[in-house]
Amino acid sequence: MEEESTSQTTTDSNVTDRIKLNVGGKLFETTLSTIRSGGPDSLLFALSNRFSNDPNPVFIDRDPEIFSVFLSLLRTNHLPSTARRFSKQELADEALFYGIDSHLRNATSPPPFSGIDASIVASVRPASEGLSSTFTAAENGSVWIAHGGQLSSYDWNLIHSATVRTHLDEINSICRVWPEIAAVGTESDAGLHFYNFSGSRHVGSVHWSDPSDPRIFKARVNAITASDNSVFASFDCPHRENCILEVDKAKLQIVSQLGRQSGNQAKNMVPGKLTFVPTTGVLVGSAVTGGAFGYSGYIRVWDPRSGEVVWETNEPGAGRSSRFGDSFSAIDVDVEKLLLFKLCSKSGDLAMADMRRLGDDPWVYLKEKNPSLWTDGGDGSTSSVVNCYKGQVFVGRGGELEVWSRVKEVVECESERDRESDGEGVYRRNFVDKREDSEKGVIVKIEGGGDRLFISREDVEGIEVWESSHYAGAISVL
C-alpha cells in the first residue's frame, strides 16, 4: 500500500523552489512543494509563504529530531523508523503544532482491516472499574468505553483523552450522537441520557411518557442507534410495553414514536439491537431470547418516515423457512452492502439475506466446505455475536472469533458470475484468533472502526484491539 511519493526532485536547479529551515539549530533544506504538502492550514505552509524571498533560513524553535521525522513523512508519505524513538503522544502533539496531524494519521493508521490476517495489537484498559459493559468505535479508530458508570474516550492513537462520570450505575447501551456527545442508556434506570465529553457534563435526557396510559413509566433504554438527524432508542417499561422513539439530534427532543407493542410474546418484545441503514433510510431492529426450548425472536424493518413495518420475520415459526427449528441466535446488518446476516442457533451456520430483495424466505445459507472447520455448535449453549465490518462478517462463538470473508472472483464470464452471485461458495470461513486467544473469555461484543476491530470479553478487563498489518513481525529466536 505504498502511496505515491510527493517529494519533488529538481535536477535542473530551480532555486526559488527551495527552502532552508533552521529547526532548533539544525539546518534542513527542502522544496516548497514538500513543505506545502501539509495543506494550506498548516504552520509550515504559512512559514513557506512568509520567507520565500529571504536568503536566511526560517528559524523554528522546536526539537530538530522530531522535525526530521516529519520532513521524511512529508517527503515520502511514510513514517521513518526513527519515529519509534518518540511516543505516539509526542508525535501527535508535535504534528498538531506543525499542522500536519492528518498526514501523521494517514501514515500511522493501519491498512484495510482483513480478518484473515489480523492480530491483537493492544488492549485498551480503563484505569478503574476496567470491566467494560459496552463500547462504541468510531470511523477514525477511536473508541468510547462504558465501564462502571463511567464513560472513557480513547482517541485514534488509543490514548486516553477524557472520562465522564455519569449518574448511572452501569451503562448497557451507548451510541455516538455527535463527535463529543454520547447517548447512553441502562437496564437499571429509566431514560435516555446525553453526555458531553468536552466539559464532561450531562446535556440532556429523554423519557418515554404517555399521559393517556398510566402503565408507561420508568421506561428503560435497550438499544440506541443514530442517523444523520435523529437518534433512535428502544424503550421498554416494567410491564414490557415497548416502543422506539425518534429523538432529534440537534434539539434532543422526541420527534416521533414507532413500533409500539405490548411485549407479552417473544415476537413483540423490545428490540435489543437497532441499526439505521443510511442508504435506504430504514431502521432494522431485532430481538432474540434464548431459553431452555431454544432461541426465538424477530427481525423487523421500519421506515421511520411513515412509521410502518416494511418487512419482518419471526423465528421460530415464520412460514416457509427452509431451516425449521434452527432459529437465529444473533443478527447483524451490513450497512454498506445492504445485507442481513443471521447466525443459526442449532447448526451454527451463517445465513445472508439481500435487503433489496427481502421476501418470504430470503436467506442464503453460507456453507462451510472445509471439513476441519465444521462445528457441532448445535446445542445453543455457547453465546454468539455477529458483526459486519468492511464487507466481512465476524462471528464470536463463545471465546472463538471467526471471520467469513468473500473470495475475490475471477471475472471470466457472465454466467459464472450469476451462478456465484447467490453468495454460496464465495464466502470462506477462517479463524481470526489462535486457540489460546479463545480461552480468555466469552466474546460479548464485536465492533469495527477505523480499520480496527474491538472486542470485549466476559469478565475480562478492557477491550482487545485487532489490526491487520503489512509488517511481518518476525520474532528473533537467537
Partner 1 sequence: MPPFAGSHPVGVFRSDTNIVTIDVGGQIFQTTKQTLTSAGPKTFFSTISQTSSPYTPFIDRDPDIFSLLLSLLRTGNLPSKAKSFDLQDLIIESKFYGIENLLINSLSNPSQFEPFNLQNSLQLPLNGRDSPSTVSTTPYGSLHVAHGSKITTFDWSLRRKSTILTHFTAVDSLLALSPSLAAAGANDFSGLQILDLENGYVKDTLIWENVTKSGSTVQAIGSSPENMFVSFESSRRNSNSILVYDLHSLRPVTEIAHNEIYGADIDSAIPATKLQWIESHNLLMASGSHSGPSGVSGNVRLWDVRSGNVVWEISEKVDCFADVTVSDSLDAMFKVGVNSGEAFYMDLKNLSSEKNSWVCLGDKRKVLNGKKEGFGCKIETQGNQVFCTKGGDVELWSDIIMGSSNNRIFKKNLMGRVQDMGGAKITNLAFGGSRMFLTRKDLQCVEVWQSSSREL
Question: Which one of the spans 79-87, 167-175, 299-307, 348-356 is the region binding partner 1 (CB under 8 A)?
Answer: 79-87
For 304-451, strand residue ranges (E) read 308-315, 328-334, 339-344, 350-354, 364-366, 384-389, 392-397, 400-406, 427-431, 443-449
Q: How far is CA 104 from the centre of its chain?
A: 21
* 391 contacts partner 1 (rule: CB under 8 A): no
* 56 contacts partner 1 (rule: CB under 8 A): no
Closest to partner 1 by CB, 8 vs 256, is 8
Q: Order of strands across the sheet with 328-334?
A: 328-334, 339-344, 350-354, 364-366
* 109 contacts partner 1 (rule: CB under 8 A): no
Compute how many other C-beta atoms are within 10 angstroms of the C-beta atom of residue 474: 6
Name the 3-class secondary structure at 17. Answer: helix
For 345-450, strand residue ranges (E) read 350-354, 364-366, 384-389, 392-397, 400-406, 427-431, 443-449
Closest to partner 1 by CB, 198 vs 469, is 469
Q: What is the largest CA-CA distance in the chain?
A: 84
Contact 110, 469 (CB under 8 A): yes
d(CA 463, CA 453): 10
Question: Which one of the spans 2-10, 146-154, 177-185, 280-288 is the region binding partner 1 (CB under 8 A)?
Answer: 2-10
Nearest Cα neighbor of 260 from 250, 275, 247, 246 is: 246
Across 314-326, b (16+ Cβ under 10 Å) vs e yields: bbbebeebebeeb
* 51 contacts partner 1 (rule: CB under 8 A): no
Task: Name which position in 63, 90, 117, 458 contacts partner 1 (CB under 8 A).
Answer: 117
* 478 contacts partner 1 (rule: CB under 8 A): yes
Closest to partner 1 by CB, 79 vs 351, is 79
* 414 contacts partner 1 (rule: CB under 8 A): no
* 2 contacts partner 1 (rule: CB under 8 A): yes
Query: Residues 230 to 269: which contact partner 1 by CB under 8 A?
Result: none
Query: Residues 321 to 380: which contact partner 1 by CB under 8 A?
Result: 369-371
- What residue type is 434 in one-letter code? K
Count interface residues toward partner 1 (CB under 8 A): 61
Which three cell numbers mark 164?
Answer: 465522564
* 55 contacts partner 1 (rule: CB under 8 A): yes
Provide, rounded to whole angstroms, the least separation between the CB of residue 432 and partner 1.
7
Residues across the chain: 478
Question: Which one of the spans 74-82, 148-156, 309-317, 439-447 is the region binding partner 1 (CB under 8 A)?
Answer: 74-82
Closest to partner 1 by CB, 284 vs 455, is 455
Task: Name which position in 322, 410, 413, 459 contacts partner 1 (CB under 8 A).
Answer: 410
Task: Name which position in 158, 194, 291, 470 contacts partner 1 (CB under 8 A).
Answer: 470
Nearest Cα neighbor of 404 from 322, 325, 349 is: 349
Closest to partner 1 by CB, 68 vs 280, is 68
* 34 contacts partner 1 (rule: CB under 8 A): yes
Provide, rounded to whole angstroms, the least separation between the CB of residue 60 and partner 1.
15
Closest to partner 1 by CB, 1 vs 292, is 1
Task: Name which position in 4, 25, 40, 53 contacts partner 1 (CB under 8 A).
Answer: 53
Question: Which one of the spans 16-24, 97-105, 268-276, 344-352 is the region binding partner 1 (CB under 8 A)?
Answer: 16-24
Question: Which one of the spans 4-12, 305-313, 343-351, 457-465 is the region binding partner 1 (CB under 8 A)?
Answer: 4-12
Task: Name which position in 39, 50, 59, 78 contacts partner 1 (CB under 8 A).
Answer: 78
Q: Site mask, partner 1, residues 428-457, x = CB under 8 A?
A: x-xxxxxx----------------------
Angle, helices 101-108/88-98, rounded to nearest 10 degrees: 140
Please provide the DSSP assignment of 95-164 as one string: HHHHT-HHHHHHHHSPPSP-GGGEEEEEEE--SSS-BEEEEEE-TTS-EEEEETTEEEEE-TT--EEEEE
Task: Name which position in 4, 9, 40, 293 contacts partner 1 (CB under 8 A).
Answer: 9
Q: How far is CA 467 from the centre of its chain?
A: 13
Q: Which residues pair with 294 in a beta bridge?
A: 291
Closest to partner 1 by CB, 29 vs 379, is 29
Please provide the DSSP assignment of 36-83 as one string: HTT-TTSHHHHHHHHTTT-SSPEEE-S-HHHHHHHHHHHHHSS--GGG
Residues of the shown chain interacting with partner 1 in the complex, contacts defined by CB under 8 A? 2, 5, 7-13, 15-16, 18, 20, 27-31, 34, 53, 55, 68, 71-72, 75-76, 78, 80-82, 114, 116-119, 369-371, 405, 407-410, 412, 428, 430-435, 469-478
